Amino acid sequence: MTLYSLDAFQIGQRIQLHPATDQWMQGQRYAQVIRVGRKVITVKTDAGRTYRLLPQYICEIVE
C-alpha cells in the first residue's frame, strides 16, 4: 500500500481509488483530481460523481 502526501497530487492527474473504499466496490475505480485542498483531494470518477477523499484512500497515481 502506498501512502501519498498532498504534494504528490496535481489537478488533472488520473488516480485509482483504494480497494477498501465503497466507491471502488461499486465499480468506480478510477478518477481524475479536480482540486487539492489543505486536507482532502476532490476527485471526479469516470461515472461522473465527485468525491472528497483523504490521501490514504488513493491506491495509486495512474497518470
Rounded CA gap, 11 and 21, in Å? 21
Q: Residue 51's domain spans which residues?
A: 6-61
The number of folded domains in the chain is 1
Domain contains 1: no
pLDDT digits (tens, 9 = 90+) for 23-53: 999 999 999 999 999 999 999 999 999 999 9
Give me the pLDDT at residue 63, please.
74
Is residue 1 predicted with pLDDT exceeding 70?
A: no
Whether residue 34 lies inside any domain: the answer is yes
pLDDT of the residue at 3: 67
Alpha-carbon span 48 to 38, nearest angstrom: 23
For 47, phi then psi, to 5°, come to -80, -10
Report yes or no on 44 lying in a domain.
yes
Give the confidence band of 4 by pLDDT, cuts at 50, 70, 90. confident
Burial class (CB in 10 A: 0-12, 13-18, 19+), 42: middle
- Check residue 9 and give its pLDDT: 92
CATH number of residue 22's parent domain: 2.30.30
